[in-house]
Structure 1
Amino acid sequence: MNRLDGKTAVITGGGSGIGLAAARRFVGEGAFVFLFGRRPEALEAAVAELGAERAVAVPGSVTEAGDLDRLYAEVKARRGTLDVVVANAGTGEIVPLGEITPEHYDRTFDVNVKGLIFTVQKALPLMGEGGSIVLTGSTTGEMGTPAFSIYSASKAAVRNLARSWALDLKGSGIRVNVLSPGPTLTDLALDVVGKEAFEALGAGTPIGRLGDPAEVAAAAAFLASADASFMTGGEVFVDGGLAQV
């Protein structure tokens, strides 16, 4: 399949996990990708895997306006325009009510909400008719999750940003949708939740296992492509049924 042939995409949090899996899928379907993230070594390893003719690494943080400006200056210089933004960078910590601190709140919302807002807003001058914005949400935005309230609230914010932005972008030809994974096997998720608890969460889904990042990436490619041309303001769950039943 070459649904993304000739398209240019930016993927934040692109050096590992779901972001890297999306990059693999996008390149496989013909896209040129800019991988943005805070770990230069991971980004360079990703580019070495994907091929320098199809991918570029741009180190930086979504919380730094100058880094985002540098990212989009690179996109403009190399490609001229931008077709797809996957605002995937995110962070989270297990912190129960009673132990939440201002620092924990700021870390989570700065990346998951503020960083996502400006990742999208700064991309818009390069985008036009047929553009697609994919925001990484989470099943936690729909469900109560113990000791994960700040992360969950940040992902609920992401869901509602997409609803309003779909209206803001009316007439532009740019679509915006949320892609919400369930328990997906990434290093970050294992670090945050712990292997035993995370595997138990996967076993508790109707499908009965953890998701693979490649399964989420397949849905990202769909939302990025013209196959999803009549979808905006929506949410696609890739969660093994966790938040559905």
Structure 2
Amino acid sequence: MRERLPFLFIQCRPDGDIARDEKETIAQVTGLTVGDSLRTHLLLAEPNLDPVHDLDIKNNYSGLIISGSPFGAEIQRDLAKPEHLHLHARLSALVRYLLDNDFPTLGLCYGLQMLALASGTALTGLTAEDLQAVEVTLTEEGMQDSVTGKLPPIIRAYTGHADSLAAVPSGATLLASGERCKCQIVRFGKNIYGTQFHPEITTAGMKIRIDQYGDTYYEASEKQEVISRCMTQDVTSSHQLLSAFTEHYQR
């Protein structure tokens, strides 16, 4: 029997509780094993790593997942820190490579936004969503898609983003939409997916983020209200996207 190729998880945030939680959650939901069938690279901790040239992605991996990030996908170069600029440059090159090769990819929040920018689509702050669980509804195309078609027609998922896609990228397909943020799942080409929501966040994982983000997405005085509205939601249906993606592209 030929050995199955692992999946690659590119993490775009500092090391810490959130980075560990997202890695462990993806492994738990998909049944992959960290270090074996799920290989991870924390880019901020590996400043010399060039994912495009150093990892031989097409030959070594079944697919790739790109994490969210505390950094914005659109940057002001005169204000951004050097580590942000370096991360942005490497991610920009990586997503262009993935789009050029239509390589199986799942971009989460920041990952989707970087894919969109590389496709020539602007971001907007008009459809920002704070820390909450929202309903995401599959489009007709989403219900027929080989990955998202395995999900329930309506799922509930955690969000938390300042920016989102201003429009569906040219040539891309809208697979799922929300009431406020319309571009919740987008497919680029045949094999590249992006989500504005976070299928990798569990209820326990959201508590970690609420504690760490402070008043980034909400006023500090609203913390208990945010905890109450997030901790009472069942978002397990959103996790199915992770397993649907890895099951479909395992090779």
What TM-score do you get using the length of structure 1 for normalisation? 0.46
